[in-house]
Chains A and B, each alone.
Chain A
Amino acid sequence: MTTVQEREAIASQFAEKMNEDELLNCMRCGFCLPHCPTYIESGLKESHSPRGRIALMKAVTDGVIEPDEDVERSLSLCLGCRACEPVCPSGVKYGHLLEEARDIIHQNKEHSFPVKTIRKAVFSGLFPHQERMQNMTSLLGFYQRSGLQYIARKTGVLSILPDNLATMEKVLPKVPKRSEMKNRPTELPAMGTLLKKVAFFSGCLMDTMFLETNKATLKLLQLAGCEIVIPKSQACCGALHGHSGEKDGAKQLAKRNIEAFEADRVDYIITNAGGCGAFLIDYDHLLQDEPEWHERAIAFKNKLKDISEILVDLRFHEKTRLKLPAQTITFQDSCHLRNVMNTSIAPRILLQAIEGIDFREMKDADRCCGSAGIYNIVESEMSMKILDTKMEHTKSTQADVVVTANPGCLLQMQLGIERENLGECTKAVHIADLLMKAVAL
């Protein structure tokens, strides 16, 4: 519940902070509607469409309606997949509007005690500190390796969790040992001819829970002719903060990263997680009100590239023989990689270059899988609806492997596979892991 005071504060900050030009830029043509997953899954409710949400933000800004629970509901049910942006002929920057609106609401709302505690623990206590991320992941590793997981599953204690959380527990990857997470290299030489010098953005989850994928990514970069530096002082990208209305926390992290990556002269900064990449590439927007940082953020974003883009640029797939045993493969776009980083062709070029595979495009591969950061936990019902549709399309391709380009999507697709009991015949993998396998053969 929001109190009257909270609503008043939110309304006045909307009037003060929301970008009026951007709100007016939406001319309500509705070209975004058929691309919005929540509009479709909600049974075509305008309040769950980008056009409707922009109208609501504008109405609050203009004082036409109060920011009541329904307004908040409409904004919180948005996945933030930004599929509406590339299809918007007027070029409305919906993602920026949404982030600002969410930030205003969260800053002016007194959360209940448990929510406040969890938010504080996650946003201030955990994600900004890579060491703590390692500890947390180690704890999960202990759970998996000690036999606790076995016992937990056998005894049925997990059934006290909501259904999809219990399934999620099953699909978490086998995590690396703490020693492995601690001893990460800071530079790696190119293999073969040196073509480019790059810096690698490790990502907090990618460098703990998905360490294997990071290792594969680095190896691919080396093989493609990249000398790599991995700045030690880098931090979490801040996406989780930004998308949850913790803009200040996100700014802190952005500054730390810009500094960390300025130290070495590199041609590119490489990411292997669409979600991180999209947030990093928006640093200039995040820091637009801080002139001394804005320029540096632009320099930073101009160097940013996804792993698949650089591999295609360096013609890795033409120079290296990629081969796998006969299998059918499909690709699920990472929304942020596609809609914000503008990368959708490169991963497909790489996959189709692998000998032995049958690549089948699934219907609506560009539509969100429903993962969206922590959306699948906090908006579980809508997320599972979206996932069910996604799994229908996945199944029609009869794919053995679903390839993704972002950890959130990877977990969600695994969750989908588990929910459909397809675990025997279908797997979800990160593109870097699959490519590494194709090289090794």
Chain B
Amino acid sequence: MITKQVKQLLLSIVGAENYDDSKVECLVYSYDATPGYQAMPDAVIKPGCTAEVSEIVKVCNEHNIPIVPRGSGTNLSGGTCPTEGGLVLLFTRMNALLEIDEENLTATVQPGLITLDLISAVEPKGLFYPPDPSSMKISTIGGNINENSGGLRGLKYGVTRDYVIGLEVVLPNGDIIHTGGKLAKDVAGYDLTKLMVGSEGTLGIVTEAILKLIPMPETTKTMLALYQDLDAAAQSVAKIISNKIIPVTLEFLDRPTLVVVEDFAKIGLPTNVEAVLLIEQDGPLEVVERDMKRMADICLEEKAVSVEIAETESDAAALKTARRTALSALARLKPTTILEDATVPRSEIAKMVRAINEIASKHDVNICTFGHAGDGNLHPTCITDARDHEEMERVELAFADIFAAAIDLGGTITGEHGVGAMKAPYLEWKLKKEGVAAMRSIKQAFDPNNIMNPGKVFAKESRKRVVVTS
């Protein structure tokens, strides 16, 4: 609840034009891209600078008002849904690219900057910012940092965390701290930079970031390997890695996903095969050509029916763009698409694909699978209808089984989408009681009043894991 008095305080910080508690404005920030999550905030606020953020946080801390920092609301774990009301904090006024430092190879940005805008701004300078989540055209850097987003290039280049080297953060008591810097080395105390990355807005508010850039690779080549057998595709992934080749991208799409993506993108994707691998390598030309040849050979040895190399850059770009639409395109089949991002060690990817299919038929649900196979990070997506409650129950059981299967294979419940509200009840499965307790004590130390994105990461109640012993 925001009282009249608190509202006055907030208005005096940002001005009337940057505070809105009308029904309409609250409603359009009541959701993110996670199906099944919607909750009204009490108000929406748009600070213009770090000092304003700090003032806002102080007011909220004093009056116990939840704060949900929000980028573009593309979150897939309910992380930006204001489940406990309070204030949704927008960064639409804090979206500047402050500096590209060509001597230190860094970019300094405000959290509201769109990921793709950063990538496009550094590329003409021969610099490269690798993290490229599928939503990069919409997502913000602040959102990426809070979720530690991955992307198609994660296999070779890692995820957002690997590129964040300094942060300005407003802590829940209103203190402004600076972590890290334009430094290649820095062991002055705990690594708070990396702690903040992926903290899902539960520890503080990122108001500025220093990002590491790397030199732009000289050449890039992209190919598609086609399979009539899911298992063969998954085996190829494991074999490429065990042959010590690390491509930029090694993506998996099954037939139902291919069909819907082609229906949208119309770029001539094969729809008569059971699966494809989308493979990309970059670097000096001779290395790229050698790796592509070796990977093509491995795929063919593993019973790929054919291997096609994209002839032009625009063909390659079209393939990747199409892949990025996979999740949304699946909504063509049924209105509700619930996806997960359970992740396993790369060597276990074939077993995971098999497990997903068995679980789908066990619970009689329709699961399509695509994802970052090379990272061991698949996106089994359940195609369903939220209005069918009986089926929704089976979907939930299926996903619980998928989490369990991933953990049994040495994996995790989420590779890149975050715990949010959706996976909070399962966190203990991965971390055990002691692991969750350790994290809770960190949360408690930073945010004793629990105002920062409450209800996320830590569940009120953990789900019981049913272990069947045979």
* CB pair A65 B23 closer than 8 Å: yes
* CB pair B28 A46 closer than 8 Å: yes
Q: From residue 53 to 90 of chain A, which have CB atoms closer than 8 A to chain B? A: 55-56, 59, 64-66, 68, 70-71, 73-74, 88-90
What residues of A have a CB within 8 angstroms of the CB of B23 in the complex? 65-66, 68, 70
Q: A34-B138, A89-B264, A90-B331 are in contact. Are A70 and B24 (CB under 8 A)?
A: yes
* CB pair A30 B135 closer than 8 Å: yes
* CB pair B73 A46 closer than 8 Å: yes
Q: A28-B32, A33-B138, A34-B138 are in contact. Are A47 and B328 (CB under 8 A)?
A: no
Stretch from A19-27, A235-243, A285-293 that touches the partner: A19-27
What residues of A have a CB within 8 angstroms of the CB of B264 in the complex? 89, 91
Q: A30-B74, A33-B138, A46-B73 are in contact. Are A89 and B24 (CB under 8 A)?
A: no
Q: A24-B335, A47-B24 are in contact. Are A55 and B31 (CB under 8 A)?
A: yes
Q: Mark B9-38, 1 if CB is under 8 A from A, else 0.
A: 000000000000011110111111101000
Size of interface on B: residues with Cβ below 8 Å to A: 37
A43 at the interface (CB under 8 A from B): yes
Q: Mark B116-157, 1 if CB is under 8 A from A, else 0.
A: 000000000000000000010110000000000000000000
What residues of B have a CB within 8 angstroms of the CB of A21 in the complex? 335
A425 at the interface (CB under 8 A from B): no
B325 at the interface (CB under 8 A from A): yes
* CB pair A89 B73 closer than 8 Å: no
What residues of B have a CB within 8 angstroms of the CB of A52 in the complex? 28
The docked-state distance in angstroms from the alpha carbon of A229 to that of B434 is: 81
Which chain A residue shows the least CB distance to B386? A24
* CB pair A89 B27 closer than 8 Å: no
* CB pair B24 A71 closer than 8 Å: yes
* CB pair A89 B328 closer than 8 Å: yes
A31 at the interface (CB under 8 A from B): yes
Q: From residue 333 to 388 of chain B, which have CB atoms closer than 8 A to chain A? A: 335-337, 385-387
The docked-state distance in angstroms from the alpha carbon of A55 to that of B26 is: 11
B92 at the interface (CB under 8 A from A): yes
The docked-state distance in angstroms from the alpha carbon of A338 to that of B138 is: 22
A157 at the interface (CB under 8 A from B): no
A441 at the interface (CB under 8 A from B): no
Which chain A residue shows the least CB distance to B76? A29
Name the one of B72, B325, B335 contacting A89, with C-beta atoms under 8 angstroms: B325
* CB pair A46 B332 closer than 8 Å: no
* CB pair B27 A29 closer than 8 Å: no
B422 at the interface (CB under 8 A from A): no
* CB pair B27 A27 closer than 8 Å: no
What residues of B have a CB within 8 angstroms of the CB of A56 in the complex? 24, 27-28
A44 at the interface (CB under 8 A from B): yes
Q: A31-B325, A34-B138, A44-B92 are in contact. Are A25 and B27 (CB under 8 A)?
A: no
Q: Mark A159-187, 1 if CB is under 8 A from B, else 0.
A: 00000000000000000000000000000
* CB pair B24 A27 closer than 8 Å: no
Q: Mark B255-292, 1 if CB is under 8 A from A, else 0.
A: 00000010110000000000000000000000000000
* CB pair B24 A29 closer than 8 Å: no
Least Cβ–Cβ distance between A77 and chain B, in angstroms: 12
Q: A24-B335, A25-B335, A89-B264 are in contact. Are A31 and B27 (CB under 8 A)?
A: no
Q: From residue 282 to 328 of chain B, which have CB atoms closer than 8 A to chain A? A: 325-328
Least Cβ–Cβ distance between B439 and chain A, in angstroms: 29
Name the one of B29, B30, B92, B135 contacting A29, with C-beta atoms under 8 angstroms: B135
What residues of A have a CB within 8 angstroms of the CB of B327 in the complex? 27, 29, 89
B329 at the interface (CB under 8 A from A): yes
The docked-state distance in angstroms from the alpha carbon of A21 to that of B334 is: 9
Name the one of B73, B93, B385, B387 contacting A28, with C-beta atoms under 8 angstroms: B73
Least Cβ–Cβ distance between B314 and chain A, in angstroms: 14
Q: A55-B28, A68-B23 are in contact. Are A29 and B74 (CB under 8 A)?
A: yes
Least Cβ–Cβ distance between A34 and chain B, in angstroms: 6
What residues of A have a CB within 8 angstroms of the CB of B336 in the complex? 24, 27
- Most interface-central of B23, B137, B328 (chain A CB within 10 A): B328
The docked-state distance in angstroms from the alpha carbon of A45 to that of B25 is: 9
What residues of A have a CB within 8 angstroms of the CB of B335 in the complex? 21, 24-25, 27
Which chain A residue shows the least CB distance to B335? A24
The docked-state distance in angstroms from the alpha carbon of A169 to that of B336 is: 50
The docked-state distance in angstroms from the alpha carbon of A203 to that of B337 is: 43
* CB pair A64 B27 closer than 8 Å: yes
The docked-state distance in angstroms from the alpha carbon of A26 to that of B73 is: 14
Q: A29-B74, A30-B74 are in contact. Are A55 and B27 (CB under 8 A)?
A: yes
Q: From residue 34 to 56 of chain A, which have CB atoms closer than 8 A to chain B? A: 34, 43-47, 49, 51-52, 55-56
What residues of B have a CB within 8 angstroms of the CB of A29 in the complex? 33, 74, 135, 138, 327-328
Name the one of A64, A66, A90 contacting B332, with C-beta atoms under 8 angstroms: A90
Name the one of A34, A73, A89 contacting B329, with C-beta atoms under 8 angstroms: A89
The docked-state distance in angstroms from the alpha carbon of A89 to that of B326 is: 8
What residues of A have a CB within 8 angstroms of the CB of B22 in the complex? 70
What residues of A have a CB within 8 angstroms of the CB of B32 in the complex? 28
Q: From residue 64 to 110 of chain B, which have CB atoms closer than 8 A to chain A? A: 72-74, 92-93
The docked-state distance in angstroms from the alpha carbon of A131 to that of B467 is: 80
The docked-state distance in angstroms from the alpha carbon of A214 to that of B35 is: 50
- Most interface-central of B30, B72, B335, B386 (chain A CB within 10 A): B335
Which chain A residue shows the least CB distance to B137? A34
Which chain A residue shows the least CB distance to B26? A65
* CB pair B328 A90 closer than 8 Å: yes
Least Cβ–Cβ distance between B257 and chain A, in angstroms: 11
What residues of B have a CB within 8 angstroms of the CB of A45 in the complex? 92
Q: From residue 225 to 254 of chain A, which have CB atoms closer than 8 A to chain B? A: none
Name the one of A43, A59, A88 contacting B27, with C-beta atoms under 8 angstroms: A59
Q: A25-B335, A88-B328 are in contact. Are A30 and B33 (CB under 8 A)?
A: yes
What residues of A have a CB within 8 angstroms of the CB of B30 in the complex? 55
* CB pair A27 B72 closer than 8 Å: no
Which chain B residue shows the least CB distance to A46? B28
Least Cβ–Cβ distance between A90 and chain B, in angstroms: 4
* CB pair B25 A47 closer than 8 Å: yes
The docked-state distance in angstroms from the alpha carbon of A49 to that of B73 is: 13
* CB pair A46 B29 closer than 8 Å: yes
Least Cβ–Cβ distance between A299 and chain B, in angstroms: 25
The docked-state distance in angstroms from the alpha carbon of A405 to that of B74 is: 36
Given A34-B114, A91-B331, 17 additional A-B pairs, CB 8 A: A24-B336, A24-B387, A28-B31, A28-B33, A28-B73, A29-B138, A29-B327, A30-B135, A31-B325, A34-B137, A43-B93, A49-B28, A51-B28, A56-B28, A70-B23, A70-B24, A89-B264
Q: Please list the residues of chain A having a beta carbon within 8 angstroms of any beta carbon in chain B.
A: 21, 24-31, 33-34, 43-47, 49, 51-52, 55-56, 59, 64-66, 68, 70-71, 73-74, 88-91
Pairs of residues from A and B, 5 with the lowest C-beta to C-beta distance, nearest first = A89-B328, A90-B331, A24-B335, A70-B24, A89-B325
9 A-B pairs in the complex with CB atoms less than 8 angstroms apart:
A24-B335, A26-B331, A27-B33, A29-B74, A31-B135, A34-B114, A46-B73, A47-B24, A55-B31
